[in-house]
Amino acid sequence: MNVSALHAATSARAAAETTSVGSPILNISIFGAFVAITLIIVLRASRNNKTAADYYAAGRSFTGPQNGTAIAGDYLSAASFLGICGAIAINGYDGFLYSIGFLVAWLVALLLVAELMRNTGKFTMADVLSFRLKQRPVRLAAATTTLVVCFFYLLAQMAGAGGLVSLLLGINDKVGQSVVIAVVGALMIIYVLVGGMKGTTWVQIIKACLLIAGAAVMTVWVLALHGFNLSELLGAAAARGGEAVLNPGLQYGISEISRLDFISLALALVLGTAGLPHVLMRFYTVPTAKEARRSVVWAIWLIGVFYLFTLVLGYGAGALIGADAIKAAPGGVNSAAPLLAFELGGPLLLGLISAVAFATILAVVAGLTITAAASFSHDVYASVIKRGKPAPGMEVKVARITVVIIGIFAIVGGIGVQGQNIAFLVALAFAVAASANLPTILYSLFWKRFSTRGALWSMYGGLGSAIFLIIFSPVVSGSETAMIQGVDFHWFPLNNPGIVSIPLGFILGWLGTLTSRTLENPVVAAEMEVRSLTGHGAEGATTH
Amino acid sequence: MSNGAHQSDAGLPITDFPAVENSEKFRLLKRRHRSFVFPVAFGFLVWYFAYVLLADYAHDFMATPVWGNINVGLLLGLGQFVTTFGITTWYVSYANRKLDPVAEEIRSELETQEGVNR
């Protein structure tokens, strides 16, 4: 996901002068087939979309395994697939470090967040955070952080789509790429508008299966070429890329600052996942907390196995194609996986893998959009503006309008950030999730004294400090890959603000609570605790 | 209030949640939950950051070959996968045995009680 981040940054820039590999027509037809099949499924799935619970939470009708697969589909973005493979192919061991952070992060979600959230909330993260605190200010703050995280994540995905297209379809000019971004955006709007959460979930399930199956086939293939011996594969990669690819430090061992930056990133990764709103929202699509637990277990196994595949694929690309050839190829570092597919199975396998990569972007974008729309219509419109009493049917209507607006913003923004530093956008999303959302989530679930002031300080402070530090970091100005070239106003040395903004979010929540004069209602706090642990009163599946 | 959490239809709480919270059974559930998730969460975070720091600052140690081209770093990295899968399985079995039955008991008691109060 955000790995693309660091790598796609370069590739997006390189994308301008690229040519395609394989057959663009084949790539487009396979992708077209995916779109056609998923659209039919979305249409069929959407027949029962009547209430808000149907639209936002798919009627809570998914099983744990289904939802777990969808979570994997949501989490394993094209960037995760292309980015990690490329990172390992070129930087060797340092690329592997990302997958570990992404995976271990799920334990935070499993142990501390998933079930308790499912038991206390209804549709959005704000449901849980505002349960025993003052509704309107807390909801507004939670909706703000949700929208900010979703929006930056969305922009990164859209920008990634543009870069990917240039590689796979041979569309090199800016106008052509903009058209493709608009097409991706329009498709996404249709999926979400028509299918709601149910349709979106099915798209993610199908995509996750395709992605994991594709990666599995390539992994077995690569291993077969090396006598099913990992050591032999590593040896081949080292022979081509130098002994250093097997050891840590190639990318992050350059200076003390880069080492510190890595710690900051590691912190944001491991704590960010459980605060990502589109991941949290998936817990509401299952009928019970037990199913939420099963979802996370499935997600952990699928994501973990997938990252093991990428280890083999990355070293395989390093061994069979070579780091220099990958860097020189169109799409740069992100082209490792497609190039490996081409090397192994020719144009057909390349076409399949490319279509999967597209499908991946589409599914992730759809998941983000529905989360943002739900947050706006449920938290801002229904709860804050209409004070919890929206006219019947209006909430879903507002959600649908929001989908279209967000879609248009994402398309325009995606075209605007073409060739921009994607690291900026995704690092922001992860850092904001970890700094603004996670402290408040954990405090409200586990600390009875936690107060409204603590929540507001933590959310706005975490959000503000993360964004503030990124603005004055090398990703925005003063480095070769900076968003704004020609000026240098950076004074914060790290690319990722996590090491400062995450502790700050926790400290502000604690400080705000200690300085609160008004105590929160202890009866509601007791209710929340009882509900969160027992699942009493949690909304179950809707039946039609 | 859209999560419909705080009030019954009559506007009064049906269940005395503070009483439930102080009940022996709920305290047992809470103790079992926290005594598992807190130490385990602490443990895996320490192990994760120990690994991150080693990968960041102890390059020579991580580069020590163990078997063929497989070195300490790779084994520790794969170890993170193993512990993640292991903790997942462990938690699920713990929750199924120690948490779910108690939670279920409390929940059904509350539901019958609310039925009576209504």
Residues of B in contact with A122 (CB under 8 A): 2-4
pLDDT digit string, tens, across residues B31-79: 999 999 999 999 999 999 999 999 988 888 988 888 888 899 999 999 9
pLDDT at B8: 43
Residue B3 is assigned to a structural domain of this protein: no
Q: Please answer yes or no on whether A530 and B3 come within 8 Å at the CB atom.
A: no
Q: Per-residue pLDDT averaged across B90-100, rounded?
A: 94
Query: Does the structure show a pLDDT above 90 at B10?
Result: no
ipTM, two decimals, is 0.87
Backbone angles phi, psi at B65, to 5 degrees: -70, 140
Q: Are the beta carbons of A231 and B67 separated by less than 8 Å?
A: yes
Q: pLDDT band at A427, cuts 50/70/90?
A: low
Which pair of tokens denotes residue A431?
């850092």
What pLDDT shows up at residue A337? 85
Q: Would B1 be classed as within a structural domain?
A: no
Pairs of CB atoms within 8 A across A/B: 169
Q: pLDDT for A117-134, tens place per residue?
A: 889 888 888 888 888 898
> Which residues of chain A are within 8 Å of residue B70 when distances are taken between CB atoms?
230-231, 234
Interface contact B20-A530, CB threshold 8 A: yes
Residues of A in contact with B92 (CB under 8 A): 293, 297
Are A426 and A5 within 8 A, CB to CB? yes
Distance between CA atoms of residues B23 and A289, nearest Å: 22
Contact (CB<8Å) B85/A259: no
**B36 domain-assigned:** yes
Q: Which residues pair with B67 in a beta bridge?
A: B70
- In B, minimum Cα distance to A395 occurs at B2
Would you state the structure tokens that stand for residue A291, as one six-digit string?
């199913």
Which pair of structure tokens corresponds to residue A325?
């050839």
Nearest-Cα distance to chain B for A380, in Å, is 11
Q: Do A388 and B2 touch (CB under 8 A)?
A: yes
* Residue B12 resides in a domain: no
Chain B CA closest to residue A258: B56
**A465/A469 Cα distance (integer angstroms):** 6
Which pLDDT band holds residue A542 (cuts at 50, 70, 90)? low
**Sign of the alpha-carbon dihedral angle for A513, B37, A300, B48:** positive
- B116 CA to chain A: closest CA distance, Å? 16
Burial of A209 (0-12, 13-18, 19+ CB in 10 A): middle
Domain that holds residue B24: 17-117
Residue B2 domain flag: no
Q: Does pLDDT of A281 surpass 80?
A: yes
Out of A23-37, A485-499, B93-107, pick the least confident: A23-37
Supply A442's token pair: 């954990």
CA pair distance B62, B52, nearest whole angstrom: 11
Domains of chain A, each with CATH number or no CATH: 9-421 (1.20.1730.10)
CB contact under 8 A, A97 and B81: no
Cβ contacts of A3 within 8 Å, gap of 6 or more:
A79, A80, A83, A84, A87, A95, A98
C-alpha to C-alpha distance for A104 and A113, rounded to whole angstroms: 14
Q: What is the pLDDT of residues B66-81, one digit of tens each?
A: 888 889 999 999 999 9
Our count of domains for chain B comes to 1
pLDDT at B1: 38
Are the beta carbons of A300 and B88 separated by less than 8 Å?
A: yes
Closest A-chain CA to B55 = A248
Report the C-alpha gap between A179 and A28 in whole angstroms.
14
Q: What is the mean pLDDT of residues B88-96?
A: 95
**pLDDT at residue A151 greater than cutoff 60:** yes
Q: Contact A523/B4, CB-based, under 8 Å?
A: no
B31 part of a folded domain: yes
What per-residue confidence (pLDDT) applies to A1? 41
Subunit contact A97:B21, Cβ cutoff 8 A: no
Interface test with B, best of A127, A232, A520, A527 (most B CBs within 10 A): A527
- pLDDT of A48-107, one tens digit each? 777 778 877 887 888 989 999 999 998 887 667 777 888 888 888 888 888 898 899 999
Looking at the partner chain, which of A106, A263, A293 has a beta carbon nearest the beta carbon of B95? A293
